[in-house]
Amino acid sequence: MSTTAQVSDVEMINLTLMLALRAAVEKSPAQASYQYDLLPEEAAFVASLDLATIRVLVANVDRCFFRLRPGLPQLAAVPPGLASVLAVVRDGQGQRAIIEKPSH
């Protein structure tokens, strides 16, 4: 009888990303909010999660917490030096606009 816990690919992805996200928010909420596209209340929620809560979530959710970024195929097709710049600029159809259009 083995005492090794079996962890699915989805559980491993969720655990790894949640721990990385929480560590980033603890280090710099502003930087993590930018990098992970978090609202301030989402960053605060992530910071409030303890390891036990993260483990329970990961063990009981059988779907990935994270989705691929919209436009990823287009980013993969551009020259490497432009991908970072284009990742910041949204076409207006993203969930959150980084640069808001001025209202006149």
pTM to 2 decimal places: 0.70
78-104 confidence digits (pLDDT tens): 888 888 787 777 544 444 444 444 454
- % the chain with pLDDT above 90: 52
Annotated domain spans of the chain: 1-66, 69-104
Which helix (DSSP H) or strand (DSSP E) does residue 30 occupy?
Answer: helix 29-36
- Distance between CA 32 and CA 42 in Å, rounded? 11
Chosen CATH of 1-66 out of 3.30.1330.10, 1.10.4000.10, 3.90.230.10, 1.10.150.530: 1.10.4000.10
5-15 confidence digits (pLDDT tens): 788 999 999 99
